[in-house]
Structure 1
Amino acid sequence: MTIKRLVAAMLLASASNSVLAEESFTVQDIQVEGLQRVALGAALNNLPFNVGDTVTDYTLSRSIRTLYGAGHFDDIKVLRNGNTVIYRLRERPTINAIEFDGNKDVKEEQLNQSLADNSIEVGEPLDKTILKSIENGLTEFYHGVGKYQAEVEIEVTYLPRNRVNLKLKFEEGDAASIRQINIVGNKLFSDEELLKDIESQQDLPWWRFMSSDRYQKQTLQGDIEKITSYYLDRGYLRFDIKSSQVSVSPDKESVYVTLNVSEGEKYTISGVKFVGDLIDQDEFIRQILPLKDGELYNGALVTYTEESIAKLLARFGYANSKVRTIPQINDDTKEVELTISVDPGKRVYVRRINVAGNANTKDEVFRREFRQMEGAWLSNDSLELSKQRIQRLPYIESVEFETTPVAGVDDQVDIGFNVKEQPSGSFNAGISYGNYMGLSFQIGVQQENFFGSGNSAGISLNTNKYQKSVSMTYTDPYYTLDGISLGGQVFYSDVDYSSASSNLEAYNQQRYGFGANIGYPINEYNRLNFGANYVVNKINSINEYDQLRHFRAVLVDAANPDGGYNFTNYELSASWMRSTLNRGLFPTAGHYFGATVKATTPNSDLSYYKLMFEARNYIPLSNDHAWSFLSRLELGYGNGYGDKNGYDYTLPFTENFYAGGDNMRGFESRIIGPHAIFRYAQSVPGLPDPNSGTGNFPTNPNNDNYQVSLRSIGGNAMAIATLELITPTPFLSDEYRNSVRTSLFVDAGNVWDTEFDLDRYASLTQIVSAQRQPGLVDYSDPGLIRATAGVSLQWISPMGPLTFSLAKIIKKYEGDLQENFSFNIGTTF
């Protein structure tokens, strides 16, 4: 009985204490102590009550949790003095600076972003509770890339005014190498077959120092997927990697990878059917379907089928389609029936297209290149084509687009094109130095984006030891809305090739005229251009070499045989161009073909034609296009048509093709090709002439002498080929990839004269002067190929494209002059 009374008394006392604990009171005042950075109003806003409210002790304890949740305080105490509530707070320290030490595998930009995601930024309060998790997360990252010895420590230094400095100290250590990769359970394919195409390398010998056998978790995951795909692509639908283990050696310097696999058996396709909405493209989809009944199951073809159908739907505006393949496996017959489920979703329309990043170029310049229209349904093909057309503009470095759903609408999107411009002005100049040519300098200005209009305008002023010229050009690529272009030019030049720097046989030429051109687009990739020029030529002070005999015969004035050559031509031209290049400057993928024919009209003083062809093909060798292969071909041929005074017209020597310099790096400019041949008649004494006092008479022409000049005269035929490996530029970050290019090249080609007759000089004697003259070769032989190899660096600078080339001649002929290093402005390949 006594025990029962004691228990009852205890229960009564407990109930009494509970009532006292929940005693309420009315708050008359709230005081906050310890605030330094946080404003009083911000602290009071986090309290769940105000002055005048009735609260209990439970309310006060709940307010502590609320204040902690605001993230500003390290310590919170609440006191009561009568009806006054007092909060004593200790604010979290403010981060004054963040420093990194010892990090090599992780860039500081990545670390700052990772810390910011965890609210660790300069100027923000520090939550010390998450520092340990950050240390662990970074350590796990290093383990994922094979650095099992890595350690990360965050050092906190306290400063006055409740501030702290954070220093992240890294000891990365060396990466563990893959000592061995073992595959257990494979009977159908050997380890060598399964591992030959994976990225992870094992136990490499010392001489393969350019390769890496470093262990990386993500790389291994990708390799596991490759092995899985290897089996699925060969019909082993039940293939499975049951487990993968990575064992670390005791010294943490190497790892052993073991994959346990179950191969299964081959499965054939017993049928393919579709469910869902094919938007009335059933017949077309079945025609392009690569999956056939009775063939082995192929995982790659299944994925390709899904992607192809999704792309087809996207062309018709169904950008959010869902295509998936459902296999129904029959393990008894080892067959699989594939059901392709197609859900096109809603057709998506484009509400608005915005352009950003264009500081110099007007919006309309980009909008006229758009193939995706506002108000039309969204087409991925049209978007990609729009991007490609903008990227081909020579004043655009890069362009990206982003699709943003319109808020509150499930069938509309906005498109944002973000462009990065590059210098659109070209300061066209060239400086080069050769053993024989000396210093040459050219200068000019070309603006490909005149006042942001997308029109091309330029004035070129060229001067060197042998040339003075000026030309003005203007082209509007969108003279009409459908892409018809219109342009014109005015030009004047006065060239004196008597200087040795020209590498050409001496003569003086004045040339002036004007012209116009018009272009028509055929489709997205093909274009036709037509032009007409009026050209006046005046040539004098020419060394009359033997190859000019036909040219002289049709132009010489019998009344003034020493008066030079004056002729006026009316030129017509037509050209075709096809381009699928991905960029206007420094392309890395696609091809370009251009063919041009130019001819004078029959009422011109000279009758001739020229044919020119250029082809360039870029093949990317890596997914990011950092490595690419360029093949380039230039062909040219010209000749005369008709005759005058019994002499056939030929291609004027002023229209000849040349090689060396830009198109054959390693040779001096225009040195490759036929050289001038000077023919001298022999004479014998005769009776004295009463006027001149001489009595010499020429002998039989078969006794003539000849001399081969050191200078080139060009030829009427040309063929030049280039092979170029485009590589990443050493010591330069990827952000400059579109403005700086490095390449290894091989140039080969020749210029020849199809009208040259070697037999004409067979019985003559060559004169060799004190200065060594080149020997006579058959200048009509296209097989006299020259070749060079070297390295080139190109940079799209603010003054235009700069090209630096260092080349070594592989094959040359007597009379060819080399130019190992050259520097040009305004030329890109």
Structure 2
Amino acid sequence: MKFNQLVVAGILYSSASLANAASDNSEFVVEDIRVEGLQRVALGAALTYIPVQRGDEVNTFRITQLIRSLYSSTHFEDIEVLRDGNTLVIKVAERPTISNIIFEGNDDIKDEQLQESLDGSNIRIGEPLDKTVLTSIENGLKDFFYSIGKYNADVTAIITPLPRNRVDLKLLFEEGDAASIKQINIVGNELFSDEELLEDFELQFNTAWWDFLSETRYQQQTLQGDMETLRNFYMDRGYLRFNVDSTQVAMTPEKDAIYISMNVTEGEQYEISEVELVGELLGHENYIEQVLPLTPGELYNQAEVTYTEEFISKYLGRFGYAYPTVTTVPEINDEDKTVKLTLRVDPGKRIYVRRINFTGNTVTADEVLRQNVVQMEGTWLSNSMLETSKNSMSRLTYMEEVEFETVRIPGKEDQVDVEFSVKEQPSGSFNAGISYGDRTKLGLQAGIQQDNFLGTGKRVGINVSTVSYQKSAQLSYTDPFFTIDGISLGGTVAYSEFDGSSFNVISYNQKRWSVGGTIGYPIDEFNRISFGLTYSDIELSNRGNYIQTNRFYSQFTDELNPDAPISYTSLESSVSWSRSTINRGLFPTAGSTQRASFNITTPNSDVNYFKSIYDAKFYFPLTRNQKWSVLTKLRVGYGNGYGDVNGNDQILPFTQNFTAGGADTLRGFENNTVGPRGIFRTAGGNTITLPDGTKIPGDPSGDSYQLSRRSLGGNAMILGGVELITPTPFIEDDASNSVRTSVFIDVGNVWDTEFDYDEYKELNNLNSSEQLLDYSDWSLFRSSAGISVQWISPMGPMVFSFSKALQEREGDDARFFTFNIGQTF
């Protein structure tokens, strides 16, 4: 179209510009050529488009060709050819250069999409402006708005001249409101009601106010999809002759409402009389015939036919036949209402992979990505292996998106290259900086915590941090591909000083250093098992006099110095199983993760205990683009001691107790405040003196107790919840993978299964305003609901939660707003 415009323009200009030349002589020999009016275009560049040289004889036809050639350069908007003696004079007016492109008023079309459309017409900054294409661009954009129901939309191109033959181009949009659907009518349906047929339509009308997922705006493309949905509804139920005869879309005079009518012919149901497989099935005929869902005597089902075609294609793709053709040919018998289905299979040639390439990985090395690719170069192409490879890379925490495509090699019918395109995201950070929590207050931290250290795929942590409750230093290292077959190896050396009173738990101080290692083995694509061994040396001091903790302290207390710090060592072994099918490592929207672990100290340790934890999250996408998903989660834990010391049963060290409350466990409650609390017990003063002078406690009924303000934690935990993951308002799509908004309900509690409520219920309570709870009662639980926003920022995750405690217990510390900034992940 552009070429025709140039030809017509060239002819018109040539007829006008040759008037002077024709009045003199229609033909002459050119002695010189002079080009006037050049500004940006160099003379040499202009001469390359002039098909005339000195000494050539020119006439009207040659001049017309010259003008056409100059217009084809796209540099000029006006050309005039004159004769000055035997000198050919060419006067040109250059097209103005685009200095800036501005989009204003566009809400439904992003600037990037608009610029891509303009690029197709060669309208971009720095290029000459061809004004002849602006009208077609305006009309094309209007057509787009009409297709989404915005019939009052208008698009205007405004050109503002600037010095030095430059212009600003502004596209001004007036989108208006989209026309809403007032009614959808289906005419001709007798077998099924309108409600049944419209149930699966994407376009809706008269929806409830709370049904915010419904699409009530008219969109032409969506209507086409709903018509196909209607056709599939009948075809899946055997109505092989169903047809949509016509569709009418009527609009109100105000262009704000749409009425849609569909005229249909339902026809009758057809049964399958025979299913025949023809073509080359590569020796897999028996298997394919056994698993085919199509059975003679059953009603025709279009969905099953499509599934059968896709199944055969994917099955052959496992053996390198990546581009098979599977076609179902129906032979319809209208007399007995039956159909014979003939499946014609052409596997094509077996395809081999020549090379696997990666693009987009600016940090991660190619070999790290290749470790997750099960498709090998030089072997036949397997679609299932490519999908497995994509999923494996997508679950890496430093990958935001992973896609692949197969590219045929010119001249090689049986070879392709596989192109993986990836988009990376932060996987931790060089985290010198500060953190702040509404309870932990100001904290300083420095070091590296990276899941993809220097692009090697190895997890390395060198961290030194100080917050109100803890000072710590840790060096950790994990190589997820220590061997080529995916065996991982890791280790950790750590030292910490912990203050329980600043952590919202009972008062005690702990110094701990530890060294440990883990080794992991892959079972298959999704499952993994790991083994670990950790040696720890722990010192406890400044301990409070709580009944529950005294049971543990009594094993190590020096009778001569009962207030002295106690210390003990342990060698802890662990085994864990993990399974992951999530679609992304961070902020997944589909799939599940499950992890079960069992830790136990060896018998030669100073303390003998075990802990088991099961953690699961399941993501269920609600929409095709997975912007809306439901997350269900469950965390269950239990621990206890084993064996005995001096005839007394070992118990779980209270430092290993489970705690709840806060962003990671039970939102709506202050961090680590949910669960059993420490109990002080005071003797009533009644004592009995034996004949030898020994004093023993008398009747304990006179004793009293007092509850601590802090939580002790417990040896059993159940936490669960449901979250509706929603698009984050005012956030662009390219940032959706780093910001997440959800509406949640959290439920759970922490218990002490060894607690004997009967031992205390008759005692005097010094906390007259607060009653002692039965910390072993499984019916006691907490719950909350609210909204959470998470952001993977350059300095680490930021979590903001607005929540309301729905079920709380006396003494709980409920919080409406909690946040934490600067944690590593």
- The two structures share one fold, judged by TM-score above 0.5: yes
For the pair 1:137 / 2:133, whether they are aligned, the reply is no
What displacement does 1:53 show? 5.0
For the pair 1:679 / 2:681, whether they are aligned, the reply is yes
Note if contact 1:666-1:818 (Cα within 8 Å) is conserved in structure 2. yes
Hey, what does 1:717 align to over in structure 2? 716
1:677-826 maps to which residues of 2 (within 5 A)?
677-684=679-686, 698-762=697-761, 764-769=762-767, 774-825=770-821
What displacement does 1:239 show? 1.2
Note if contact 1:433-1:819 (Cα within 8 Å) is conserved in structure 2. no
Hey, what does 1:5 align to over in structure 2? none
Tell me how far apart the structure 1 counterparts of residues 58 and 213 of structure 2 sit (CA, whole Å).
Answer: 73
What residue identity is the alignment partner of 1:784? L
Tell me how far apart the structure 1 counterparts of residues 95 and 466 of structure 2 sit (CA, whole Å).
Answer: 71
Offset from partner CA, 1:290-332 (integer Å, 9 cap, x none): 2211111111222222222222222222222222222111111
Q: 1:254 to 1:633 in 2, by over 3 A?
A: closer
Give the secondary structure class of the aligned counterpart of 1:316.
Answer: coil
Tell me how far apart the structure 2 counterparts of residues 49 and 803 of structure 1 sit (CA, whole Å).
Answer: 72
Hey, what does 2:7 align to over in structure 1? none
Offset from partner CA, 1:447-482 (integer Å, 9 cap, x none): 222232222222344444453333322222222221
Note if contact 2:403-2:422 (Cα within 8 Å) is conserved in structure 1. yes
Hey, what does 2:183 align to over in structure 1? 180
Q: 1:563 to 1:256 in 2, by over 3 A?
A: closer
Tell me how far apart the structure 2 counterparts of residues 149 and 424 of structure 1 sit (CA, whole Å).
Answer: 47
What displacement does 1:736 show? 0.9
1:258 pairs, out of 251, 256, 261, with 261
Tell me how far apart the structure 1 counterparts of residues 644 and 99 of structure 2 sit (CA, whole Å).
Answer: 89
What displacement does 1:791 show? 1.5
What residue identity is the alignment partner of 2:735? Y
What residue identity is the alignment partner of 2:676? P
Offset from partner CA, 1:77-122 (integer Å, 9 cap, x none): 5556787655454444444444444444333333332222123334
Give the secondary structure class of the aligned counterpart of 2:438.
Answer: strand
Note if contact 2:326-2:346 (Cα within 8 Å) is conserved in structure 1. yes
111-120 vs 48-57, greater mean Cα deviation: 48-57
Tell me how far apart the structure 1 counterparts of residues 96 and 623 of structure 2 sit (CA, whole Å).
Answer: 49
What displacement does 1:56 show? 5.8
What residue identity is the alignment partner of 1:638? G
For the pair shown, which has the larger CA radius of gyration, 1 or 2? 1
Hey, what does 1:433 align to over in structure 2? 438
Tell me how far apart the structure 2 counterparts of residues 169 and 388 of structure 1 sit (CA, whole Å).
Answer: 43
What displacement does 1:279 show? 2.8
Tell me how far apart the structure 1 counterparts of residues 555 and 437 of structure 2 sit (CA, whole Å).
Answer: 38
Tell me how far apart the structure 2 counterparts of residues 76 and 202 of structure 1 sit (CA, whole Å).
Answer: 57
Q: 1:603 to 1:238 in 2, by over 3 A?
A: same
Tell me how far apart the structure 2 counterparts of residues 277 and 171 of structure 1 sit (CA, whole Å).
Answer: 58
1:294-333 maps to which residues of 2 (within 5 A)?
294-333=297-336
What displacement does 1:288 show? 2.7
Offset from partner CA, 1:347-394 (integer Å, 9 cap, x none): 222222222333332222211111122222222222222222222222
Tell me how far apart the structure 2 counterparts of residues 28 and 203 of structure 1 sit (CA, whole Å).
Answer: 80
Tell me how far apart the structure 1 counterparts of residues 201 and 274 of structure 2 sit (CA, whole Å).
Answer: 33
Hey, what does 1:535 align to over in structure 2? 536
Q: 1:759 to 1:150 in 2, by over 3 A?
A: closer
Note if contact 2:675-2:751 (Cα within 8 Å) is conserved in structure 1. yes
Note if contact 2:687-2:698 (Cα within 8 Å) is conserved in structure 1. no
Tell me how far apart the structure 1 counterparts of residues 175 and 509 of structure 2 sit (CA, whole Å).
Answer: 71
- Unmatched segments (≥5 aa) in structure 1: 1-21
Note if contact 2:575-2:597 (Cα within 8 Å) is conserved in structure 1. yes
Tell me how far apart the structure 2 counterparts of residues 203 and 760 of structure 1 sit (CA, whole Å).
Answer: 63
1:271-290 maps to which residues of 2 (within 5 A)?
271-290=274-293
Hey, what does 1:108 align to over in structure 2? 111
1:345-424 maps to which residues of 2 (within 5 A)?
345-424=348-427
What residue identity is the alignment partner of 2:750? V
Give the secondary structure class of the aligned counterpart of 1:410.
Answer: strand
Tell me how far apart the structure 2 counterparts of residues 118 and 75 of structure 1 sit (CA, whole Å).
Answer: 20
146-155 vs 423-432, greater mean Cα deviation: 423-432
What residue identity is the alignment partner of 2:636? L
What displacement does 1:721 show? 0.9
What displacement does 1:429 show? 7.5
What residue identity is the alignment partner of 2:175? E
Tell me how far apart the structure 2 counterparts of residues 450 and 521 of structure 1 sit (CA, whole Å).
Answer: 22
Tell me how far apart the structure 2 counterparts of residues 186 and 793 of structure 1 sit (CA, whole Å).
Answer: 48
Give the secondary structure class of the aligned counterpart of 2:218.
Answer: coil
What displacement does 1:529 show? 1.0
Offset from partner CA, 1:23-56 (integer Å, 9 cap, x none): 9876555454554444444444334554445666
Q: 1:461 to 1:284 in 2, by over 3 A?
A: same
What displacement does 1:637 show? 1.1
What displacement does 1:741 show? 0.9
What residue identity is the alignment partner of 1:592? T
Give the secondary structure class of the aligned counterpart of 2:136.
Answer: helix
Note if contact 1:177-1:203 (Cα within 8 Å) is conserved in structure 2. no
Note if contact 1:432-1:821 (Cα within 8 Å) is conserved in structure 2. no
For the pair 1:450 / 2:453, whether they are aligned, the reply is yes
What residue identity is the alignment partner of 1:504? V
Note if contact 2:688-2:698 (Cα within 8 Å) is conserved in structure 1. no
What residue identity is the alignment partner of 1:660? G
Q: 1:252 to 1:681 in 2, by over 3 A?
A: closer
Offset from partner CA, 1:148-173 (integer Å, 9 cap, x none): 33333434455665555444344434
464-473 vs 481-490, greater mean Cα deviation: 464-473
Q: 1:167 to 1:590 in 2, by over 3 A?
A: closer
Note if contact 1:98-1:166 (Cα within 8 Å) is conserved in structure 2. yes
Per the normalisation by structure 2, the TM-score is 0.89
Note if contact 2:360-2:422 (Cα within 8 Å) is conserved in structure 1. yes
Note if contact 2:746-2:785 (Cα within 8 Å) is conserved in structure 1. yes
Q: 1:331 to 1:463 in 2, by over 3 A?
A: same
Q: 1:612 to 1:174 in 2, by over 3 A?
A: closer
Tell me how far apart the structure 2 counterparts of residues 257 and 273 of structure 1 sit (CA, whole Å).
Answer: 41
The number of aligned residues is 799
Q: 1:37 to 1:489 in 2, by over 3 A?
A: closer
What displacement does 1:258 show? 2.5
What residue identity is the alignment partner of 1:270? S
Note if contact 2:141-2:155 (Cα within 8 Å) is conserved in structure 1. yes
What residue identity is the alignment partner of 2:679? I
Give the secondary structure class of the aligned counterpart of 2:305.
Answer: helix
Q: 1:594 to 1:166 in 2, by over 3 A?
A: closer
Note if contact 2:704-2:766 (Cα within 8 Å) is conserved in structure 1. no
Give the secondary structure class of the aligned counterpart of 1:819.
Answer: coil
Q: Percent identity over the alignment?
A: 54
What displacement does 1:732 show? 0.6
Tell me how far apart the structure 2 counterparts of residues 548 and 169 of structure 1 sit (CA, whole Å).
Answer: 72
What residue identity is the alignment partner of 1:353? I
What displacement does 1:731 show? 0.9
Per the normalisation by structure 1, the TM-score is 0.88
For the pair 1:670 / 2:668, whether they are aligned, the reply is no
What residue identity is the alignment partner of 1:227? L
Q: 1:273 to 1:51 in 2, by over 3 A?
A: farther
Note if contact 1:478-1:485 (Cα within 8 Å) is conserved in structure 2. yes
What displacement does 1:561 show? 4.9
Give the secondary structure class of the aligned counterpart of 1:683.
Answer: coil
What displacement does 1:530 show? 1.0
Tell me how far apart the structure 2 counterparts of residues 612 and 785 of structure 1 sit (CA, whole Å).
Answer: 19
Q: 1:467 to 1:46 in 2, by over 3 A?
A: closer
Hey, what does 1:526 align to over in structure 2? 527
CA-based RMSD of the aligned residues comes to 3.3
